[in-house]
Chain A
Amino acid sequence: MNTTRTRLALAATVATIGLLLSGCSGGSSGTSDPTDVSPEGEIVPREISWLLSRPADGGVITAMEQIADEYAKDHPGFALNLITTPDRPSYIQKYETLAAANKLPELFDTDATPFAQKLASQGTMMDAEALLKDLGVYDDYRPAALNYQRFDDGSLYMVPFEFQLEFFWYNKALFQQAGVEVPKTLDDFPALCTKLRAAGITPIALDGQDQWPLERYMAYYPFRTAGPDYVQQLKKGDAKLSDETGEQAVQWLSDLGSAGCFQDGFSSTGYSDAQASFTSGKAAVYNIGTWELNSLATDALDPSVRDDIDYFTLPVTTDSVTAANEYVSPSGIGMAVNAKTYDPLVRDFLSFALKRYPEVYAATGALSPTTNVQTTIPDNATPLYQRAVDQANDVGEKTAMPWDTQLDPTSNTRLQQELTLLLQGEIDPDEFIGTMDGVIADNGPKAFQ
């Protein structure tokens, strides 16, 4: 009996104990001045840590490991400890708990979320714009890559390490089989799906399990009809989904659902299953970023579909206020520099690393967040690879921000849940709008005051 109670009580409260104990120390701001990017003093090599959320064998980590080794050669005693948690929800939990305990390491990853903005306003993070300017690398960065990291007020506290373009990859053979063409406007999507379905083809492969891929579709329509400002207003409660812009967007999503655009059971399909559905020639369209170039534009791709794969960018709408070359071009989760632990060593290492990084990273075949290097095209690439890389130089100024980095976390969680229900036809557009406007009104203004 006691053990039972012990266990259940433990389960019920385990979430709060550590936090409360550490809460006493939480909230205090760093000792350094976030704008003092060039502190005086001697460079004393030590181990520094970077808490990050990136694939363990991905380009960023591989490049940074190499750079840290190079730096350590001239600075004995230096080491860069990379602690990665690629699963984003787990990472966010870890990072927010450490922030509450005031135990964040020298470097840590974060998106430009309301939580990060609170940390910045408490002086926990170094001013990245000042830092990059001081290191003389600010102008090397693609403006779009930096803008993606900025808070609403335009301030910059995170450094980007990648640059990605999100495309609609499609299978030309399947399109031909169903007698359809690349959609000219977003409104062509429902009809496209209906025809593909009729031909027995899964129209769009979607990783519904991770939520964010579906949430991209929420961002597309308003980005075309009202521009990037819409979500900024919506999240604060200054715009509503019941406005014309919102209503059109929700109706479009609902139409995607009734046209059966996504595979049956999409909400429980994972990342790799969705991708496999496309690369095995089962699904006709797959919406993903250039981080998958290695799987989609090299000979790693199944020979049976290799020559049939192409891509198109986010279609416009008839009265589009954003240009065709403006779409989702994220620079990934950014790296923040902890102001509390910032010292001459951290500065010196960052100076070395950020100058060296573009070259090392571009050599892995990835797009650098800077414009001063050429991406090395891998030997096993298909012609599509080069085309996708070149496309980066043609990206317009405005970028469609993924909504999961914009909304407050409570509204975001609810939006992801309701989107699945809307697309599955469990709720109608009016219910969706009513619920979401209510949730955002309850949580948004509070989070962004």
Chain B
Amino acid sequence: MPMLPQRSRLSVLVFLLPPLALYGIAVLLPIFQSLFLSFFDWDGISPMLFVGFENYVRMFTGDTVFWIAFRNTLGYVVICLVLQLGGALIVASLLTLLRRGREVVKTLYILPAVISTVAIAFLFQRIYSLDPEGLINQVLEFIGLGNLQNAWLSDVSTVLAAVSVPEGWRFTGLYMLIIYAALLAVPAELEEAAKLDGASWWQTFWRIRFPYIRPVWITTTIIATTNALRGFDIPYLLTNGGPGQSSELLTTYMYKTAFTSTNYGYASTISVFVVVECLVAVGLIFLLLRRKADA
């Protein structure tokens, strides 16, 4: 790499500083503030009370809702990832086979990502509804499976999936676009050579295409995972965590702890956990996917 002249290195630094400062103020500072607050008991209007690790002890040992929310969050992430990454990969692969109308399909798939969350929540409220009968229950009735009709958002065994699906569905198009762009970059001659050697479609995909797009796949997985881990709006709007705690996520629980219970200290403790959980998730993804790449 050619050395930059002294002056331009300085100007690069000058241009880099503002975003760095912004990052520090907007991201690092609040994280440290949360960390700080997590050692206090504070309702927002009374004096702050230092409680040491009490909030952490309560979170890990005394709070059943926290663990239910954590388990639900993992379920939510899995469903979102399957829909988003799996769906995106399938659609993107099919798109490369399409000769005409690619733009239309792409636009249709990306559409949900630009609709407001509130609108999506209302839409799905209707889709899942039992009384008045929503889309799913109408379809079930129509195809003669009326006995499977259900209040999807009220049934504790279906509600978590029901609140995860809209989030997964919503961003499938976005990840599809990224993966599609990566698939386009796979050199055609490589695939042709493989085909000449007698490789099946699956072998071409698994041995040529997928390894080629692996770096993009890792990035996409990280974005999708962290997005799902901090998912909040759709579950909050659809069920507010209910019935009971069946669709309570760490984020909705944190929100309630802060703004309903006005327990900002404990809410900060949960938020610290969410930050750590996201970092651990990113680390795990790197470890798993990198190792596969090395193997």
Q: Which residues of A contact B (CB under 8 A)?
A: 1-2, 4-17, 19-20, 23, 26-27, 89, 92-93, 96-97, 99-100, 115, 118-119, 122, 202, 208-209, 211, 263-270, 273, 276-277, 408-410, 413-414, 417-418, 420-421, 424, 426-427, 443
- Please tell me which one of the listed residues B46, B243, B256, B257 contacts residue A424 in the complex, with CB atoms under 8 A apart: B243
In the docked arrangement, what's the CA distance between A202 and B240, Å? 25
Q: Are B271 and A12 in contact (CB under 8 A)?
A: yes
A409-B260, A418-B244, A426-B243 are known contacts. Are A268 and B30 too (CB-CB below 8 A)? no
- Please tell me which one of the listed residues B151, B259, B274 contacts residue A93 in the complex, with CB atoms under 8 A apart: B259
Which residues of chain B (130-154) have a CB below 8 Å from chain A? 130-132, 150-154
B83 → chain A closest CB, angstroms: 19
Which residues of chain B (4-60) have a CB below 8 Å from chain A? 23, 26-31, 33-34, 36-37, 42-48
Smallest CB gap from B271: residue in A? A12
- Chain B residues near A265: list those with CB within 8 A: 129-131, 150-151, 153-155
Q: Are A16 and B268 in contact (CB under 8 A)?
A: yes
Q: Are A4 and B223 in contact (CB under 8 A)?
A: yes
Q: Which residues of B contact A (CB under 8 A)?
A: 23, 26-31, 33-34, 36-37, 42-48, 65, 125, 128-132, 150-156, 219, 222-223, 226-227, 229-230, 232, 238-245, 251, 254-264, 267-268, 271-272, 274-275, 278-279, 282
A338 → chain B closest CB, angstroms: 14
Q: Are B154 and A266 in contact (CB under 8 A)?
A: yes
A10-B26, A115-B262, A424-B154 are known contacts. Are A15 and B242 too (CB-CB below 8 A)? no
Q: Are A2 and B44 in contact (CB under 8 A)?
A: no
In the docked arrangement, what's the CA distance between A269 and B239, Å? 10
In the docked arrangement, what's the CA distance between A408 and B261, Å? 8
Smallest CB gap from A1: residue in B? B222
B266 → chain A closest CB, angstroms: 10
A147 → chain B closest CB, angstroms: 26
- Please tell me which one of the listed residues A115, A119, A268, A443 contacts residue B151 in the complex, with CB atoms under 8 A apart: A268
In the docked arrangement, what's the CA distance between A1 and B281, Å? 13
In the docked arrangement, what's the CA distance between A132 and B279, Å? 57
Given pairs A17-B33, A96-B259, A426-B244, 18 additional interface contacts (CB within 8 A)? A1-B282, A2-B23, A5-B278, A8-B278, A11-B232, A11-B274, A12-B34, A12-B271, A16-B30, A16-B267, A19-B44, A93-B259, A118-B46, A268-B128, A268-B239, A409-B261, A418-B244, A424-B243
- Chain B residues near A97: list those with CB within 8 A: 44, 259
B138 → chain A closest CB, angstroms: 15
- Some 11 contacts from A to B, beta carbons below 8 A apart, are A6-B23, A12-B230, A13-B33, A26-B44, A99-B45, A100-B264, A115-B262, A265-B153, A265-B154, A413-B256, A420-B244
Smallest CB gap from B62: residue in A? A442
In the docked arrangement, what's the CA distance between A446 and B246, Å? 28
Q: Are A424 and B262 in contact (CB under 8 A)?
A: no
- Please tell me which one of the listed residues B132, B240, B254 contacts residue A15 in the complex, with CB atoms under 8 A apart: B254
A4-B282, A273-B131 are known contacts. Are A16 and B154 too (CB-CB below 8 A)? no
- Chain B residues near A1: list those with CB within 8 A: 219, 222, 282
In the docked arrangement, what's the CA distance between A263 and B29, Å? 49
Q: Are A269 and B131 in contact (CB under 8 A)?
A: yes
Smallest CB gap from A273: residue in B? B132
Q: Are A11 and B251 in contact (CB under 8 A)?
A: yes
Interface centre among A6, A13, A92, A93 (most CB of B within 10 A): A13
In the docked arrangement, what's the CA distance between A179 and B122, Å? 38
Q: Are B129 and A268 in contact (CB under 8 A)?
A: yes
Q: Are A23 and B44 in contact (CB under 8 A)?
A: yes
Smallest CB gap from A421: residue in B? B244
- Please tell me which one of the listed residues A13, A115, A420 contacts residue B243 in the complex, with CB atoms under 8 A apart: A420
A4-B222, A265-B153, A420-B243 are known contacts. Are A410 and B261 too (CB-CB below 8 A)? yes
A265-B154, A420-B244 are known contacts. Are A277 and B131 too (CB-CB below 8 A)? yes
Q: Are B48 and A16 in contact (CB under 8 A)?
A: no
Q: Are B241 and A16 in contact (CB under 8 A)?
A: no
Interface centre among B47, B65, B243 (most CB of A within 10 A): B243
Q: Are B262 and A96 in contact (CB under 8 A)?
A: yes
- Please tell me which one of the listed residues B34, B244, B279 contacts residue A16 in the complex, with CB atoms under 8 A apart: B34
Q: Are B244 and A10 in contact (CB under 8 A)?
A: no
- Chain B residues near A115: list those with CB within 8 A: 43, 45, 262
In the docked arrangement, what's the CA distance between A32 and B30, Å? 34
In the docked arrangement, what's the CA distance between A119 and B37, Å? 22
B28 → chain A closest CB, angstroms: 8
Q: Are A417 and B244 in contact (CB under 8 A)?
A: yes
- Chain B residues near A273: list those with CB within 8 A: 129, 131-132
- Please tell me which one of the listed residues A17, A92, A417 contacts residue B241 in the complex, with CB atoms under 8 A apart: A417
- Chain A residues near B34: list those with CB within 8 A: 12-13, 16
A267-B243, A417-B242 are known contacts. Are A12 and B31 too (CB-CB below 8 A)? yes
In the docked arrangement, what's the CA distance between A276 and B28, Å? 49
Q: Are A264 and B264 in contact (CB under 8 A)?
A: no
Q: Are B27 and A5 in contact (CB under 8 A)?
A: yes
Q: Are B242 and A420 in contact (CB under 8 A)?
A: yes
- Please tell me which one of the listed residues B45, B245, B257 contacts residue A122 in the complex, with CB atoms under 8 A apart: B45
Q: Are A27 and B47 in contact (CB under 8 A)?
A: yes
In the docked arrangement, what's the CA distance between A426 and B232, Å? 25
A118-B45, A265-B130, A424-B156 are known contacts. Are A16 and B37 too (CB-CB below 8 A)? yes
In the docked arrangement, what's the CA distance between A435 and B65, Å? 11
A418 → chain B closest CB, angstroms: 7
- Chain B residues near A202: list those with CB within 8 A: 131
- Chain B residues near A26: list those with CB within 8 A: 44-45
- Chain A residues near B257: list those with CB within 8 A: 410
CB-based closest 8 A-B pairs: A265-B151, A100-B44, A13-B30, A268-B153, A11-B230, A93-B259, A265-B154, A421-B244
Interface centre among B44, B232, B255, B256 (most CB of A within 10 A): B44
Smallest CB gap from B22: residue in A? A6
Q: Are B261 and A100 in contact (CB under 8 A)?
A: no
In the docked arrangement, what's the CA distance between A381 and B245, Å? 43
- Please tell me which one of the listed residues B131, B226, B244, B245 contacts residue A7 in the complex, with CB atoms under 8 A apart: B226
Q: Are B245 and A417 in contact (CB under 8 A)?
A: yes
In the docked arrangement, what's the CA distance between A211 and B27, Å? 35
A268 → chain B closest CB, angstroms: 4
Interface centre among A14, A97, A268 (most CB of B within 10 A): A268
Q: Are B267 and A20 in contact (CB under 8 A)?
A: no
A100-B45, A122-B45, A268-B239 are known contacts. Are A8 and B260 too (CB-CB below 8 A)? no
